[in-house]
Structure 1
Amino acid sequence: MSCSLTQSCFRQLARSPLRQGPLPVYLAPAFSHPLRTQPFSTTSPAHSRVGGAAISVPPEVSLKFVDFPQPKTKAKSIDYPKMTIEVKGPLGELSLNIPSYVKVDYDEAQRKATFAVEDTLVTHQRAMWGTMRAHLQNHILGVSEGHICILSFVGVGYRATIESTATTVEPEYPGQQFVSLKVGYSHPIELGIPKGVKASTPQPTRILLESVDKQVVTKFAAEIRAWRKPEPYKGKGIFVNGETIRLKDKKIR
């Protein structure tokens, strides 16, 4: 029952003609004090521990801040990014668009970047606070060291190869390679390797994916895994980055 409903019930009880005698002592505070408007919890909203942490930029990585021209008329439902961060390193270059309500401070002397938002009471801004910080951290790590996904094939006859041509799909860009999967289907599964991703097969039952963009390489790994997800009875399937699965007991009728 809400506070307003409880207060109205007390008032009706006080005005009721059936009430005999004075008002009970334990009900007096409900009529003497105004309606409580403060929430049950008086603690302030917690700040983002991930977003508030500073990012250390390696010496071989450079950050460039480029401002976007803002439109004259802004729609309330659309958030236009105010700037982009160009991250350059020995392995490549990436860019990250920053929303208008996110502030980035970069100290070139200490080579540390910190994030902040305009209003920490807004749930969406507080959520994007740590998200944008994680995206920039992944970009810095990608252009300096790179991101890797290792896919392991577990099952009789499961294997993969890297081919330069494909018969079931068309290439999306010149020189594109394809991953050919044999995972229990009557025909091989052919998937085009996205641009910027390097794939190799050190073993017939393993695929090594490398890229500077973590989002691209992990998405492609998920597409490969979707063709034979790990099943919990025999433990067969495609496992990503040391993934494990708990086996279930066999169904005995």
Structure 2
Amino acid sequence: MQRRLLHTTRHTLSHIGSSPVFLTPDVKLSSVQMLVPTVIPKGTQKIVLNRLLSVAGPKGEINLQIPDFVKMDAGNPAVLKIEIEDEKNKIQKSMWGTYRSLINNAVVGVTDGHSSTLRFKGTGYRVMLEKDAKTGQEWVKMKVGRCNVEGLPIPEHIVCETPSQTLLVLRGPDKQKLNLFAARLRNMRPPEPYKGKGIYFNDETIKLKAKKVK
């Protein structure tokens, strides 16, 4: 009778980290050593970001700070493999998938771009785009249940569109900066749990609470 093994000594690879990043011919990668590294504390240890990876494509260029233990195998011009120095190192293994995702997001961003949407729900809620006559800076202006109009200037490399008065579409190559700007707009009027009024990010939904009875 064959005994069933409850555990294995075989080392498990990161499913995300070991997945390849697919490149198009118009994507260019270059890496340089940073003069002043960025140190990130990680418990009793630390991660030193000492290399600057530049990903350039038709939509723009994105720079990523990466540590030395992240290795990139570009033997095939159409496929980029992300590896780490020591698969038994806990910190390296935990960050393997993270840096693979960051590099993949950068490649997708400079080729196809990223997009996010904000939906405005509430009586009188609406969004509009306005350009400052003096500076030429374009702004996102919103009416979200207050007397005054609120808004933020649109950062560089982010394009905003308003298909309707209650929908804002944001596009850009850098996913992190794009979602950060979307989050800043959403935080001006996040969805409230009783009537559901507010600004919703992408497919966000909330569970409504019962109204308080005095």
Q: Return the TM-score normalized by structure 1.
A: 0.71
Asked whether the 8 Å contact 2:158–2:178 carries over to 1, the reply is yes
Work out which of the residue numbers 22, 40, 45 in structure 2 matches 1:56. Answer: 22
Residue 79 (str. 1) matches residue 48 (str. 2): yes
1:97-246, aligned counterparts within 5 Å? 97-109=65-77, 111-165=78-132, 175-246=136-207
Asked whether the 8 Å contact 1:62–1:87 carries over to 2, the reply is yes
Structure holding more helix per residue: 1
Structure holding more strand per residue: 2
Structure number with bigger Rg: 1
Residue 66 (str. 1) matches residue 37 (str. 2): no
Asked whether the 8 Å contact 1:163–1:180 carries over to 2, the reply is yes
Q: In the TM superposition, what is the alpha-carbon distance from 1:122 to its structure 2 partner?
A: 2.8
Which runs of structure 1 show a deviation greater than 4 angstroms over 4 or more consecutive aligned residues?
A: 41-45
How far apart, in 2, do the equivalents of 1:53 and 1:66 lie?
21
How far apart, in 1, do the equivalents of 2:188 and 2:64 lie?
31
C-alpha RMSD over aligned residues: 2.6
Tell me, which stretches of 5 or more residues in structure 1 are unaligned? Answer: 1-40
Provide the residue aligned with 2:4 in structure 1: none
How far apart, in 2, do the equivalents of 1:185 and 1:149 lie?
25
Q: In the TM superposition, what is the alpha-carbon distance from 1:77 to its structure 2 partner?
A: 5.6
Q: How many residues align?
A: 201
User: Which residue identity lines up with residue 66 of structure 1 in the other structure?
Assistant: S
Tell me, which stretches of 5 or more residues in structure 2 are unaligned? Answer: 1-6, 40-44
Asked whether the 8 Å contact 1:70–1:80 carries over to 2, the reply is no
1:1-16, aligned counterparts within 5 Å? none
